[in-house]
Amino acid sequence: MICKNCGTEANNGETFCPVCGAKLADETTGKVENPASISPTAVMVWGIVAASLGASGLIGLIISIIARKKSKQYLNEGGIICGQSKVGSILSKVGLGLSIGFMIFWTIYIIAIIAAFAIGGFATTQVVDSYSSFIY
């Protein structure tokens, strides 16, 4: 019997491929069953949502963490690596990177705005004070 995932020839009667661990095709049906409880399509969809919402900050971060968990769960359960699961895994990382990047950006931006107002406000008070003391 030949593993449909990696092409290794496995002994007949083996349930899992000795090389990649993929579940081997059922001899009666010839159908390869994916052992993971989550489908590769679901992994991909979570990745797409994570990457799309990455720039939204906190929501993107939460969705990306869920997407990473789904992707890892798929691998841990011996899910067969395919295009969809790979895309899901890569996009969940993209989402994670984007959301963390944007959160850092906005935090620095807000701190800079507050600092600008604080310094600006202080400067204005100084100017008004010296102006007042000049007049009076």
In the complex, the residues that contact Zn ion under the rule CB under 5 A are 3, 5-6, 8, 17, 19-20, 22
User: Are 49 and 67 within 8 A, CB to CB?
Assistant: yes
Query: In this complex, which beta carbon is closest to Zn ion, that of residue 32 or of residue 45?
Result: 32
Number of helical (H) and strand (E) elements in the chain, helices listed first: 3, 0
The nearest distance, CB 11 to Zn ion, in angstroms, is 13
Q: Report DSSP letters for 23-59, one per residue.
A: BPPPTTT-PPPP-SSS-HHHHHHHHHHHHHTGGGTHH
Query: In this complex, which beta carbon is closest to Zn ion, that of residue 24 or of residue 50?
Result: 24
The nearest distance, CB 74 to Zn ion, in angstroms, is 17
Query: In this complex, which beta carbon is closest to Zn ion, that of residue 7 or of residue 97?
Result: 7
User: Are 64 and 101 within 8 A, CB to CB?
Assistant: no
The nearest distance, CB 21 to Zn ion, in angstroms, is 7
